[in-house]
Copies of this chain bind each other. A is one copy, B any other.
Amino acid sequence: MTEVVALLDELQRIGKLVDGYLEPQLARRRPARLWEAAYHLPKAGGKRLRPFFTINVCKALGGREEDALPPAVAIELIQAFSLVHDDIIDRDSTRRGVPTVHKKWGVPTAIVAGDLLHIKAYDIVTKAALTNQRLARVLPNIIDEINRSTIEICEGQELDEELERKLQPTESEYFEMISKKTAALFEASTAVGAQAAESTSEAVESMREFGQALGIAFQIVDDILGVTADEKELGKPVGSDIREGKRTLLVIHTLTKGSCQERKSLLKALGNRKATARDSSTATKALISSGAVEYSRRKAREYTEKARTALLTLPESDYRTLLDNALTFVVKRTY
């Protein structure tokens, strides 16, 4: 229990650090309409999980918080940029409980606002490196991690769309997709923390493994919550994953291992934006009765253990304990 309190305190502290860093970068700039649109999502909060991992990995490897903060903020902006563009693509109208950028300012401004967040991610680390010698030394490595993950996010976005067009999506296609679309940025968040601490390439590699496995576990839990959480917890209507046709692990498991009736119930609502509440509810029940929720929980635990093994290559410290607790939190969270 005290561990949870300590973790939540740290997440809150990181949230304030990130907010304090972002505000002068994004607020009260001109043209006002564009910068407001760009600031909209970062201002709406979020768990700040990725900056938490960057900063605490850096400290667990003997690095300094002030060197980790600019890349941590950059990672958060990459996340925001990709969400703004994803929301246009997925035609989502709410995110973090507020209207999406394109819903409020229109698609043209949302495209450009996303681009701005993308540039500011690079701008923040680059500007910091111009006055911080230590960061200047590792700047090419940090930008390289950011580039690699962002390329994978783009590829993952395309793979996700391809998966939705496939009649028989396989589990391995699913894992390739989430490894890029979701886990790549967790991987960058932990690897960049190690880079900011000027760690050995072995330590960087271990932190990549940690972030990658953590990110996969995170996404599977997200898939599960789309079915089991309530609307307030989710910040979007229950069953919307199904109606939007998202190929979650639960959907893929039910399509490949479910009974004929379960598959039929699921397919009636899957990707059908006009599905009734009853259709959605029947489809949700099929995901449960097929054993997909249980199976996904098991998979999430597997990846959590993989992440933990990579994490435990770090020397013991309070920071490592915090990271370990965060890993547990990611899998046990209810929103």
Give the B-binding residues of A (Cβ under 8 A): 30-31, 33-34, 85, 88-89, 107-109, 111-112, 115-116, 118-120, 122-123, 126-127, 129-130, 136, 139-141, 143-144, 146-147, 150-151, 154-155, 157-159, 161-162
Contact = CB atoms under 8 A, between A and B. Distances in A.
Contacts of A126: 140, 143-144, 147
Contact of A118 (B89, B115, B157, B159): B115
B158 A34 contact: yes
A31 B116 contact: no
Contacts of A157: 112
A32 to B, nearest CB: 10
Contacts of A119: 147, 150-151, 154
Contacts of A139: 139-140
Given A130-B144, A139-B139, A89 B116 contact: no
Contacts of A130: 140-141, 144
A327 B39 CA distance: 39
A122 B123 contact: no
A60 to B, nearest CB: 26
A181 to B, nearest CB: 11
A80 to B, nearest CB: 13
